[in-house]
């Protein structure tokens, strides 16, 4: 591809700091963090205003020049890495434009990191509940483009549920403004929601109006040992406690062993091993304190966090669902329990090659999915090491499979297409989704094309060609 004319026009339309062709500066934008995708671009655009994004897209539209959009570059399906297209990074769009504690909303630009959004909400005495292990690096624009999930979906929903609307530059360079922070707006098709989850194929999100929530007075976490995914599911039914359950993550023994053996500073909090674990978190809110009372329990409305968790778990203990449990009694212990979950993926690295899936099925079918998928992959590749873990509370399992010790990584990854088909056939059979959180990107395009409902695919293609007839926005992604 040669885009000489476009490049000349882009360079003169944007301020000098708004673009670069310097190989050293561009390099970090061209490689995905795990090294799975490497790309190239003739020009990296670094706009700092929506107006500059619009001006750049207008030029590209006129010349039908393709653009790849990138936020924090933490995506796991390759959509943010260019293959010769112009690369537009949103990381210069980094301002928080508006905060309103009464209306409980914040308007921030697309390149603001998720961590910065959380911190700004916290400063307002409120909470932005989206939480991912990549939150220090990922951008809010990327979170919305991928409709990110994370550990609090069980209570708050995915990124789209946390958003009033977005501002976006469309493929013709026009600006769509959906930033009004309205809790009710029935004026037709919700265009912001159409852009959310579209992985940058319909528009470049330049800002978002985000919903904020009351900040809990305290959170309490417990790591609960159980016999099986069935027991974990039954536990979920017993511990929801209205809307206070804010995390419910499944961890297999193998995963806990990897984290404690392969990563420094992590300890198994139990004295004996157990087959499965659940990391649960509940949020407690302040209630009116009893007059004159100074105890910690009255301070948080009569609920001491440890007692609260112990009481909730008591019924499950009586029902024989719980083998053992550790309830965090300090912030440090609470963080340590969360770190066991957050490091599961990284702790798998030392065992060699892994084949990963990010699937969802109806919550009640998670145990069936795990049993069937484990049996199928072990039959296909003897001694491979399945590691199903993650968001049981949302029916979303990260189904990673480690290579057997007796074959090479390359020999194992040669099985990837067969293993994918096995796993996705089981997912389809259970009425699930082949991408629960990470999106389709370039990684799962073929699987989507083969498996999606034909009417859904047709509608998606019609929307894409209506909004981007020359296919210039993320042209290799999703469809
Ligand atoms: C350690 C780790 C843990 C993770 N955990 C989770 C998790 O729990 N849940 C989860 O959902 N994901 C998770 N992810 C995946 C990833 O962090 C999310 O997909 C995140 O939302 C991507 O944001 P980003 O800014 O890095 O986007 P990028 O990686 O830059 O881009 C991702 C996609 O969005 C598009 N895009 C980016 N910004 C925009 C924009 N402003 N407008 C339009 N399109 C845009 C890109 O073109 C690309 O297709 C994890 C990743 C890592 C590395």
- Residue that has been written with the tokens 């019609």 in this structure: 462
Which tokens sit at 265?
């500073």
Ligand 1 touching residue 47 (CB < 6 A): no
Tell me, what's the pLDDT at 241?
A: 85
**Ligand 1 centroid to 75 CA: how many Å?**
4
What is the best residue among 52, 70, 169, 358 to mutate for testing ligand 1's pocket, by most ligand atoms within 8 Å of CB? Answer: 70
Ligand 1 geometric centre to CA of 21 (Å): 24
Task: Measure the CA–CA gap between 289 and 287, rounded to whole angstroms.
Answer: 6
> pLDDT tens, position by position, for the chain (479 residues)?
579 999 999 999 999 999 999 999 999 999 998 888 999 999 999 999 999 999 999 999 999 999 999 999 999 999 999 999 999 999 999 999 999 999 999 999 999 999 999 999 999 999 999 999 899 999 999 999 999 999 999 999 999 999 999 999 999 999 999 999 999 999 999 999 999 999 999 999 999 999 999 999 999 999 999 999 999 999 999 999 888 999 999 999 999 999 999 999 999 999 999 999 999 999 998 764 444 444 443 333 457 899 999 999 998 999 999 999 999 999 999 999 999 999 998 999 999 999 999 999 999 999 999 999 999 999 999 999 999 999 999 999 999 999 999 999 999 999 999 999 999 999 999 999 999 999 999 999 999 999 999 999 999 999 999 999 999 999 999 99
Spell out the domain ranges in the chain: 4-89, 99-214, 218-344, 348-438
Tell me if 81 sits within 8 A of 443, measured CB to CB. Answer: no
| Pair 273, 252: CB distance under 8 Å | no
Cα angle at 455 between 454 and 458, to 5 degrees? Answer: 85
* pLDDT at position 265: 93
CA of 299 to the centre of ligand 1 (A): 39
Pocket flag, ligand 1, residue 33 (CB < 6 Å): yes
Question: Does ligand 1 come within 6 angstroms of the Cβ of 396?
Answer: no
pLDDT at 303: 73
User: 33, 75, 360, 479: which to mutate for ligand 1, most atoms within 8 A of CB?
Assistant: 75
Query: Which among 29, 35, 52, 71 is the best mutation to test ligand 1's pocket, defined by most ligand atoms within 8 Å of the CB?
Result: 71
CB 166 within 8 A of CB 207: yes
Contact 173/161 with Cβ under 8 angstroms? Answer: no
Six-digit token string for 86: 């112009």
Instruction: Decide whether any atom of ligand 1 lies within 6 Å of the 71 Cβ.
Output: yes
Which atom of ligand 1 is nearest the CA belonging to 144? Answer: 21
Q: How far apart are CA 351 and CA 299, in angstroms?
A: 47
What pLDDT is attached to residue 116?
98
The verdict on the CB of residue 312 being under 6 Å from ligand 1 is no
- Helix then strand count (H, E) for the chain reads 18, 19
Strand order in the sheet with 44-45: 19-20, 44-45, 86-89, 67-70
Helix 50-63 vs helix 4-13: crossing angle, to nearest 10: 160
Per the structure block, which two tokens stand in for 121?
């909400």
The second-level CATH assignment, the architecture, of 348-438 is: 2-Layer Sandwich (3.30)
Note whether 218-344 and 348-438 share their fold.
Answer: yes
Q: Give the position, in ligand 1's atom list, of the atom nearest the Cα of 93.
A: 41
Residue to probe by mutation, ligand 1, list 48, 117, 132, 165, most atoms within 8 Å of CB = 132
Collect all residues with Cβ–Cβ distance below 8 Å to 370 and sequence separation of at least 6: 229, 388, 397, 399
Answer yes or no: are the C-beta atoms of 66 and 86 closer than 8 Å.
yes
Q: How far is the CA of 148 from the centre of ligand 1 (A)?
A: 7
Considering only the top CATH level, what class is 4-89?
alpha beta
Q: What is the CA(153)–ligand 1 centre distance, in A?
A: 16
CATH number of 218-344: 3.30.70.2190
Is 82 touching ligand 1 by the criterion CB < 6 Å? no
**Does the CB atom of residue 139 touch ligand 1 within 6 A?**
yes
Centre of ligand 1 to C-alpha 442, Å, is 13
The CATH class for the domain spanning 99-214 reads: alpha beta
Q: How far is the CA of 350 from the centre of ligand 1 (A)?
A: 24
Q: Is 132 in the pocket of ligand 1 (CB under 6 A)?
A: yes
Whether 110 lines ligand 1, by a CB cut-off of 6 Å, is: yes
How far, rounded to the nearest angstrom, does the alpha carbon of residue 55 sit from its chain's CA centroid? 30
């Amino acid at each position: 591809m040669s885009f000489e004319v476009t490049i000349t026009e882009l360079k003169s339309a944007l301020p000098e700091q708004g673009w670069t062709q310097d190989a050293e500066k561009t390099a970090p934008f061209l490689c995905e963090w795990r090294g799975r995708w490497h790309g190239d671009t003739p020009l990296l655009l670094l706009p700092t205003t929506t107006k500059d994004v619009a001006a750049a897209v207008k030029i590209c539209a006129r010349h039908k020049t393709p653009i790849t959009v990138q936020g924090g570059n933490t995506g796991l399906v390759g959509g943010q890495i260019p293959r010769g297209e112009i690369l537009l990074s949103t990381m210069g769009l980094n301002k928080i434009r508006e905060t309103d504690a009464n209306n409980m909303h914040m308007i921030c630009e697309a390149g603001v990191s998720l961590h910065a959004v959380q911190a700004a909400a916290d400063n307002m005495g409120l909470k932005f509940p989206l939480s991912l292990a990549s939150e220090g690096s990922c951008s809010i624009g990327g979170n919305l483009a991928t409709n990110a999930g994370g550990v609090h979906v069980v209570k708050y929903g995915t990124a789209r549920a946390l958003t009033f609307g977005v501002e976006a530059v469309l493929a013709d360079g026009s600006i769509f403004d959906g930033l009004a922070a309205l809790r009710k707006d029935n004026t037709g098709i919700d265009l912001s929601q159409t852009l959310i989850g579209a992985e940058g194929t319909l528009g470049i999100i330049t800002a978002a109006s985000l919903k904020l929530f009351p900040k809990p007075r305290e959170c309490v976490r417990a790591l609960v040992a159980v016999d099986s995914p069935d027991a974990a599911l039954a536990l979920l039914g017993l511990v929801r406690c209205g809307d206070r359950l804010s995390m419910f993550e499944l961890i297999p023994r193998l995963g806990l062993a990897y984290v404690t053996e392969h990563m420094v500073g992590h300890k198994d909090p139990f004295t004996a091993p157990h087959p499965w674990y659940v990391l649960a978190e509940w949020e407690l809110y302040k209630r009116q304190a009893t007059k004159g009372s100074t105890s910690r329990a009255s301070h948080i409305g009569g609920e001491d966090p440890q007692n609260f968790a112990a009481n909730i778990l008591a019924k499950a203990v009586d029902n024989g669902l719980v083998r053992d449990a550790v309830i965090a009694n300090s912030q440090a212990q609470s963080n340590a329990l969360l770190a066991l979950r957050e490091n599961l993926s990284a702790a798998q690295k030392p065992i060699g090659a892994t084949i990963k899936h990010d699937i969802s099925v109806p919550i009640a079918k998670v145990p069936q999915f795990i049993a069937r998928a484990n049996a199928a992959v072990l039959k296909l590749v003897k001694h491979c090491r399945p590691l199903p873990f993650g968001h049981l509370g949302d029916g979303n399992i990260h189904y990673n499979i480690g290579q057997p010790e007796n074959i090479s990584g390359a020999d194992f990854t040669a099985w990837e297409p067969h293993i994918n088909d096995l796993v996705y056939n089981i997912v389809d059979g259970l009425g699930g989704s082949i991408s629960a959180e990470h999106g389709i990107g370039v990684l799962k395009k073929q699987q989507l094309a083969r498996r999606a409902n034909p009417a859904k695919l047709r509608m998606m293609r019609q929307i894409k060609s209506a909004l981007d007839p020359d296919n210039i926005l993320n042209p290799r992604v999703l469809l």
